Amino acid sequence: MEDKMKEFFETNDFDIHIPHSGHEDRFLRKLNKSKTTKRISWKWLSVAASVVLMIGFYLGSSHQKNQVEMTDVSPEMSETQLFFVNTINQELREIEKYRNVNTESIIEDALDQIEELEEQYSNFKKDLNFIGNERQVIQGMIGNYQQRLYILETLLDQLETLRNPSNQNIIFDETI
């Protein structure tokens, strides 16, 4: 093993010369300079990021203040929206009681339809902000809520039929 080490040192040309005078001082100056430069750049970067975040929050909050909602149109529209939202939430809670392995796909299909209607509703909100209190936009928003309720009520009927299939075979005699 000693032979291999001796051979290694003999075959490789190592720099064994003494560095020029002041080499250590130049090295330490460069080392200290690079540390301070990095600290300053991180400080400026963090300050810049903070400023950008503050501007973003300001613009976001001012944009939200400028958006018109259905509730801003009139007190009646506020009551209408509250009615629909509460009824839809109540229907969704009722549907969750029926959720199981057999009903999962039916429920998810209906919820996908509801999600599409919610996207459509957000377009109505944009139209309301752009056009104003246009009667057609407000009617579209109300119709959107009605479609959501119809989908949920139809789903509840299907789920009830799946739970109790014997109820669908009952025929009422009108002569009685």
Distance CA 134, CA 81 (A): 16
Residues 30 and 85 in one domain: no
Place 39 in a pLDDT band, splitting at 50, 70 and 90.
low
- What the block records as the tokens of 82 is 């509250």
Residues 90 and 104 in one domain: yes
* Vertex 128: Cα angle to 125 and 129 (nearest 5): 90
Give pLDDT, residue 65: 46
Place 145 in a pLDDT band, splitting at 50, 70 and 90.
very high
Q: How much is the mean pLDDT over the chain?
A: 76
In a domain, 171, yes or no: no
Distance CA 163, CA 161 (A): 5
pTM score, whole prediction: 0.54
Q: How would you class 115 by CB atoms within 10 Å of its CB: exposed for 0-12, middle for 13-18, buried for 19 or more?
A: exposed
Residues 29 and 115 in one domain: no
The domain containing residue 61 runs over which residues?
Answer: 25-66
Place 175 in a pLDDT band, splitting at 50, 70 and 90.
very low
Q: Which residue, of 66, 95, 121, is where some domain finishes?
A: 66
Give pLDDT, residue 119: 92
Picking from 98, 109, 95, the residue whose alpha carbon sits closest to that of residue 163 is 98
In a domain, 168, yes or no: no
> What is the mean pLDDT of the segment spanning 49-57?
65
Q: Which residue, of 7, 42, 66, is where some domain finishes?
A: 66
Q: Domains in the chain: how many in total? A: 2
Place 150 in a pLDDT band, splitting at 50, 70 and 90.
very high
Residues 80 and 152 in one domain: yes
Distance CA 157, CA 151 (A): 10
* Vertex 123: Cα angle to 138 and 89 (nearest 5): 75
Sign of the Cα pseudo-torsion (73, 75, 78, 83, in order): negative
- What the block records as the tokens of 99 is 């959720």
Residues 80 and 100 in one domain: yes
Residues 49 and 122 in one domain: no
In a domain, 30, yes or no: yes
